[in-house]
């Protein structure tokens, strides 16, 4: 499972992640080049979210190695990574801007306009004073994406960014992501709505039973392979 067109920014070697007796990742080995948009697909329980969380340094690998931007220590490159999870990772009692202003301080971002800038980039109004708890699910998802973009990361890890987002907004998000990819960022998107990324993603990564089983350029699997698995 390698790709050699440009030097890899993420290298995963024989990655195993076990939760008790259950192995969520079973020896994943792959290389991912920079400046590409990867769509990670698979059924529930295939290991997509676990892979993303492990790349984000939130799960410690049971064995195997991950190198991101040449570093095996996540903390030394965490400034270069943006992570968006399925839950919003935002405080319900604060407004979007207040949330982002807090997280900006964690990254040492002193440019006060940056928070408003990323909120506008995801199509929301930075002056909205409503607390996040009163946002619609789709608005929460977009604000969550804004939080992930706050530190202008080189690598974006996005878990289900389009869930509960209306079709028009999802298309806007895809346009934003392809724009970011064109700026040289590497983007991993875990999704069940792969059709949204057709024509936008550079590669579709298919996962089954805790492993990558296929990598395709378009949103179609090799029928023989599909039958086998």
Partner 1 sequence: MSPPTGIARATLLKDLRLEWRSKDSINSMLFFSLLVVVVFSFSFDPTAEESRQIAGGLIWVAFLFAAVVALNQTWAREIRNQVLDAYRVSPAPANSLFLAKTLGNFIFVTVLEALMTPLFIAFYRLRALGPIWQLLLVAMLGTWALVVNGTFFAAMSLRTRSREIMLPLLLFPISIPALLAMVQATTAILNGEGARFWIVLLATYDLVFTTVCLLLFETVLNAE
Contact residues toward partner 1 (CB under 8 A) are: 56-60, 75, 78-79, 81, 83, 85, 87-94, 98, 102-103, 105-108, 131, 147
CA 111 to chain CA mean position, Å = 25
Q: Of 34 and 61, which CB lies nearer to partner 1 in the complex structure?
A: 61
Q: Of 71 and 79, which CB lies nearer to partner 1 in the complex structure?
A: 79
Q: Of 35 and 61, which CB lies nearer to partner 1 in the complex structure?
A: 61
CA distance 194 to 162: 10
Smallest distance from the beta carbon of 216 to partner 1, in angstroms?
29
Smallest distance from the beta carbon of 42 to partner 1, in angstroms?
22
Q: Of 61 and 203, which CB lies nearer to partner 1 in the complex structure?
A: 61
Smallest distance from the beta carbon of 43 to partner 1, in angstroms?
23
CA distance 43 to 149: 27
Q: Of 143 and 196, which CB lies nearer to partner 1 in the complex structure?
A: 143
Smallest distance from the beta carbon of 66 to partner 1, in angstroms?
14
Give yes or no for a contact between 104 and 114, defined as CB atoms under 8 angstroms apart.
Answer: yes
Q: Of 102 and 219, which CB lies nearer to partner 1 in the complex structure?
A: 102
Smallest distance from the beta carbon of 65 to partner 1, in angstroms?
18
Smallest distance from the beta carbon of 13 to partner 1, in angstroms?
21
Give yes or no for a contact between 30 and 212, defined as CB atoms under 8 angstroms apart.
Answer: yes
Q: What contacts 110, CB < 8 A, 6 or more positions away? A: none
Helix (H) or strand (E) holding 176: helix 167-182
Q: Of 38 and 103, which CB lies nearer to partner 1 in the complex structure?
A: 103
CA distance 120 to 96: 11
SS3 7: coil
SS3 227: helix
Give yes or no for a contact between 72 and 66, defined as CB atoms under 8 angstroms apart.
Answer: yes
Measured between alpha carbons, how far apart are the two ends of the chain, in Å? 17
Smallest distance from the beta carbon of 118 to partner 1, in angstroms?
14
List the one residue out of 8, 33, 45 whose CA is nearest residue 211: 45
Give yes or no for a contact between 57 and 78, defined as CB atoms under 8 angstroms apart.
Answer: yes
């Amino acid at each position: 499972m390698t790709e050699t067109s440009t030097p890899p920014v993420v290298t995963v070697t024989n990655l195993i992640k076990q939760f008790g007796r259950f192995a969520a990742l079973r020896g994943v080995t792959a290389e991912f080049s920079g400046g590409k948009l990867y769509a990670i697909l698979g059924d529930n329980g295939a290991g997509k979210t676990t892979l993303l969380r492990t790349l984000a340094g939130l799960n410690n690998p049971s064995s195997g190695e991950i190198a991101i931007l040449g570093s095996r220590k996540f903390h030394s490159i965490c400034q270069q990574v943006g992570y968006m999870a399925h839950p919003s990772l935002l405080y319900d009692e604060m407004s979007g801007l207040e949330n982002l202003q807090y997280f900006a301080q964690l990254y040492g971002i002193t440019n006060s306009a940056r928070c408003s800038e990323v909120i506008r980039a995801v199509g929301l109004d930075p002056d909205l004073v409503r607390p996040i708890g009163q946002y619609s699910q789709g608005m929460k998802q977009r604000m969550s994406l804004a939080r992930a973009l706050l530190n202008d990361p080189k690598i974006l890890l996005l878990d289900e960014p389009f869930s509960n987002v209306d079709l028009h907004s999802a298309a806007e998000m895809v346009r934003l992501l392809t724009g970011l990819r064109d700026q040289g960022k590497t983007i991993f998107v875990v999704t069940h709505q792969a059709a949204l990324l057709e024509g936008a993603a550079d590669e579709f990564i298919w996962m089954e039973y805790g492993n990558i089983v296929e990598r395709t350029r378009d949103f179609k699997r090799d029928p023989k392979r599909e039958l086998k698995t």
